[in-house]
Amino acid sequence: MITEVKKEKLFIDGEWIESAEKQEVYNKYTGELYAVISVADEKIVDRAIEAAIEAFKQTTFAPEYRYTVLMKVASLLMERKQELAEIIANEGGKPITDALVEVARSAATFQIAADEAKKLVGEIIPNYNVQGRFLYTVKKPVGVVAAITPFNFPLNLVVHKVAPALAAGNPVIIKPASETPSLAIRLCELLEEAGVPKGFVQCVIGGGRTVGEQLLQDERIAHYTFTGSPGVGKHIQKTIGLRKATLELGSNSATIVHHDADIDKAAQKLAKMSFAHAGQICISVQRIFVHQEIEQAFMEKFLSEVKKLKVGNPLNPETNVGPMINEKEAERVEQWIEEAKTDGAAILTGGSREKNIFEPTVLTNVKKGMKVLDEELFAPVVSVTTYCKLEEAIDLVNDSKYGLQAGIYTADLTISYKIPYLLDVGGVVINDTCCYRTDQMPYGGVKESGNGKEGPAYAIQELVETVTVVVNLEG
């Protein structure tokens, strides 16, 4: 039972301020009031941008100090690991075991970014044709970065934007998801404690149509890094024009189970990763394509594993599947499934809903034109389809407007070598599901899954300007 309602302030120009407008955030499992959050108005957002610009112009944030700050935050995250994980579970509905992993990953992301701060070096350019010139490059920060983040990884996806921005020497303005703002606020506390320079981190909370739109319209912001829906991503790109953006958008990620796969391993892992965090992961397994030779054996094992999953209170360490982010989203999924059933889809297990708790659901007989197949479900629902030849499976994976990640289970080394060239996705995972990410890897998609790469070493290159210097040695 939650007895204390948290009252959260905004972090603006190194100060904690309370605004007149408030929003309420609820525990996603119990429905109890969890926190009351200050909401930024137009003046507060403008003050945050002004403070970030002033800090960028006036404050020296040297690479060696960036390293110190980022490493200190990593240490603080691990010191408060249990507390932060419980916030993730209460505010976001993520099972506590997964929430603990998220905090640990966030600490690792800061450490990786800290190392990258020391690697920001230019290069000497060979001078082949012109005498009397010395050519080299330097890397400098782009300027103020706006980080617009989603609810599903309320700490680590904030960190994946904030840590590289700071490592590159940029001030960052965080606008977290309204459903899960507390983790961004806690992160600002840790950054302040770690000694981040005044004005280099701001946290503004509010709606996309108000706070988000104001950030987009302000041309003083140099770079936007966003995780969310393709519709919003397209709006961001259209609004900001030639300014830079890193966009990690939607997906209906797929995994192939070929005839030579280890069926037991594939079934066990797919049962877990199709429903992790109630399917609310950008690379969650939404489509499974199984070779017809092993369909029966795979489905028996897969459905058996799905039925073992425990659904319920995210604070229970035994829970595998917690609530969806809100009841409206659960109702949407219910409607999409009903539409698919009308068109011939069948439910093999699951399909029921209680408020925002959706039972792990496996569909079959799905086809092109059904939302459960074509769109991003972002729910604990997966469809299974069979294929005859590998070329057919590849076509099925690629027959999507998205292209974030894909997985394949196979014992064939030749297929393992060729498949990354044949799938239209940003990442291919061999002998594992599409739902795999480690924080140092380049992560990002193609088509409507976005552009640019996350992963500190890759993100940081988009957060610096490469300046070419030409020295006339004869001048």
Residues labelled as active-site residues: 248, 282
Q: Where are the beta strands (DSSP E) in 405-463?
A: 405-409, 427-430, 446-447, 450-451
What's phi and psi for 357, nearest 5 deg? -95, 120
Q: State the DSSP code for 399.
A: S
Token couple for 102: 């998220």
The residues, any chain, with a CB within 8 Å of residue 292's CB and separated by 6 or more, are 386, 387, 388
C-alpha 295/C-alpha 365 separation (Å) is: 13
C-alpha 475/C-alpha 469 separation (Å) is: 15
Chain CA centroid to CA 235, Å: 18
C-alpha 96/C-alpha 464 separation (Å) is: 36
C-alpha 452/C-alpha 443 separation (Å) is: 8
Chain CA centroid to CA 343, Å: 32
CA distances from 434 to 201, 242, 428 (A): 33, 32, 7
C-alpha 256/C-alpha 254 separation (Å) is: 7
Alpha-helical regions (H) of 257-314: 263-273, 295-308
C-alpha 434/C-alpha 405 separation (Å) is: 6
Let me know: does 156 contact 102? Beta carbons within 8 Å.
yes
Q: Report how many helices (DSSP H) and strands (DSSP E) the chain contains, helices first.
A: 15, 25
